[in-house]
Homo-oligomer: A and B are copies of this chain.
Amino acid sequence: MARPVGIGLIGFGTIGTGVVKVLARNGDVIAQRLGFPLKLVRISDLDTKTDRGVDLDGIRFDSDTPGLIADPDVDIVIELIGGYDVARKFTLDAIEHGKHVVTANKALLALHGKEIFDAALRKQVDVAFEASVGGGIPILRALREGLAANRIQQIYGILNGTTNFVLTQMESTGEAFDVVLKRAQELGYAETDPTFDVEGIDAAHKLSLLAAMAFGADLSFKQIPTEGIRSLIPLDFEMAEEFGYRIKLLGIAKSHISAEGETIEARVHPTMVPRSSLLASVDGAMNAIVVQGDAVGETFYYGAGAGELPTASAVVGDLMEVAREIRRQGAGRVSPLSYPQAALVRKPLVSLGDLVARCYLRFSALDRPGVLSLITGALGENGIGIESVIQKTRGEPGEAVPVVVLTHAGREAQVRTALEQIDRLPEVRRPTCLIRIEEHV
């Protein structure tokens, strides 16, 4: 067999350990499929003490990341340290040294993707990042190659395993968000600082990458209206069940083409999806993504969105693709974001106010005569039709009770105007919770 392609791994945490395991235990099939072996030559991490429980025989392991990047035996650098600044520096350094890069870091790419992809293009090296969206699901390859003949119309799905785990648990146990989050942290499903996950920021990072690949849209994750799952309470899940829905945190991106041109809709928020939909059956920490193309119609992809080995599966898959290119002395076979960098353009965004959807509204109102009519009146004045109103519990005098309203489809701007009026009422004690309903997912 030919000389192996040399790999250097920066960041020896959970995913890094998974990569070492996959390369060790599947090295034989990997070499068989490629026609040549991959060889992990170096690992760097600040923590060189902790035993990761893997055999490092023949692999140099120290904290010398610049040395790893400069090492002539390293052809591909795997960046798995996460975060923005240091990851950016090492990634750009590696590219500058003519190394190909494989990363799982969606935050890095969402924030510094343009700079990194431009540098890679200049240096004629590859940057591969299948692991950054959907964990082990080969969704980026599907978009970039399998579905490349399509005009992509919509892409949406469950992009964050932590929040899906929390939502599934809240639904099945009836427990409050804080209780479930704490358990998720204990079980290792949520980070000590869960902000990126529970606020929807991680999903927005991923959605910005997907929207670029789907529509050729240069879309910053900061432009994506993003709502997390903190404000959900157990009652919302009971009501969803009663109305025939389940609650999922979705990232949604759609392309709208009209005589005036193309506009892009992109948003991340808790969403009620019909119980019969494929997305509704995605439980626990799993991810799933729907891609609708003009030729292929609806396609659906499901798998583990995170975790040591599933993420390593994607990282090593990328290593194999890049290693093939190294052997063929090529790079840049497919543009990283499916369109050439220069073809990615800013496209007008649809404002959330222009969204037309049925809504679930949960008000916190005093149980007094006339309050319901004030609420329904404000909705009616703003042209929002009501499908049903449910008040589950009777309150003590002076105590707020939840009132749930399901609206007909209406423009969100009008719903918002009504909610502003309602939330100013003295009888309404907390900001109203709005959950959008997507019928066709």
> Measuring CB to CB, which residues of chain A are less than 8 angstroms from any residue of chain B?
18, 22, 25-26, 29-30, 32-33, 35, 130, 136-138, 141-142, 145-151, 216, 276, 278, 281, 288, 293-304, 307, 309-310, 312-317, 319-321, 324, 328, 330, 333-335, 338-340, 343
Listed by A's residue number, 11 A-B pairs whose Cβ atoms lie within 8 Å are A22-B295, A136-B295, A137-B299, A138-B141, A138-B145, A278-B302, A295-B312, A295-B313, A296-B304, A299-B301, A299-B302
A303-B299, A309-B296 are known contacts. Are A32 and B317 too (CB-CB below 8 A)? no
> Smallest CB–CB gap between A219 and chain B, Å?
17
Name the contact of A26 in the complex, choosing from B18, B145, B151 (C-beta under 8 A). Answer: B151
Contact A18 B295 (CB under 8 A): yes
Chain B positions within 8 Å of A295 at CB level: 18, 22, 26, 136, 309-310, 312-313, 316
> Chain B's nearest CB lies how many Å from the CB of A85?
29
Q: What B residues does A340 contact at CB under 8 A?
A: 32, 35
Contacts of A301 in B (CB 8 A): 299-302
Contacts of A324 in B (CB 8 A): 333-334
In angstroms, Cα B148 to Cα A22, docked, is 11
* B-chain residues with CB within 8 Å of residue A149 when the two chains form the complex: 22, 26, 30, 312-313, 315-317, 319-320
Contacts of A317 in B (CB 8 A): 145-149
Q: How close is A25's CB to chain B, nearest CB, in angstroms?
A: 8
A22 shortest CB reach to chain B, Å: 5
Q: Are B293 and A298 in contact (CB under 8 A)?
A: no
Which residues from B are CB-within-8-Å of A278? 278, 281, 302
A324 to B338, CA, bound (A): 13
A288 nearest CB neighbor, chain B only: B300
Measured CB to CB, the nearest residue on chain B to A136 is B296
**Nearest neighbor of A300 in chain B, beta-carbon distance:** B302
Q: Are the CB atoms of A136 and B309 closer together than 8 Å?
A: no
Instruction: Kindly list chain B residues whose C-beta atoms are within 8 Å of the C-beta of A338.
Output: 33
B residues less than 8 Å from A339 (CB atoms): 32-33
Q: How far apart are the CA atoms of A148 and B339 in the complex, in Å?
A: 24
By a CB distance below 8 angstroms, the chain B residues around A18 are 295
Nearest to A32 among chain B residues (CB) is B343
Q: How far is the CB of A165 from chain B (nearest CB, A)?
A: 15
> Which of these, B130, B147, B316, contacts A313 with CB under 8 Å?
B147
Contacts of A281 in B (CB 8 A): 276, 278, 281
A298 contacts B303, C-beta separation under 8 Å: yes
Interface contact A33-B300, CB-CB below 8 Å? no
A43 to chain B, nearest CB (A): 18
Residue of B nearest to A293 (CB): B313
Give the residue name and chain of the B residue nearest to A298 (CB).
B303
Q: Which residue of B lies closest to A338 (CB)?
A: B33
A133 CB → nearest B CB, Å: 12
**Looking across the interface, which residue of chain B has its beta carbon closest to that of A138?**
B146
Which residue of chain B has the shortest Cβ distance to A149 in the bound complex?
B316
Considering the chains assembled together, what is the distance between the CA atoms of A145 and B304 in angstroms? 17
In the complex, what's the smallest C-beta–C-beta distance from A40 to chain B, in angstroms? 13
Tell me which residues across on chain B come within 8 A of A30, comparing CB atoms: 148-149
Question: A291: nearest residue on chain B (CB-CB)?
Answer: B303
For residue A315, which residues in chain B have a CB less than 8 angstroms away from its CB?
149
Q: Are A294 and B148 in contact (CB under 8 A)?
A: no
The residue of chain B having its C-beta at the shortest distance from the C-beta of A292 within the complex is: B303
* Residues of B close to A276: CB separation below 8 A: 281
Chain B residue, CB-CB nearest to A302 = B300
Give the distance to chain B from A103, nearest Cβ to Cβ, in Å. Answer: 16
Residues of chain B lying within 8 A (CB to CB) of residue A296: 136, 303-304, 309-310, 313-314
Interface centre among A141, A302, A303, A312 (most CB of B within 10 A): A303
Chain B CB within 10 Å, residue with most, of A142, A296, A304:
A296
Q: Whole-angstrom distance between the alpha carbons of A138 and B142 in the complex?
A: 6
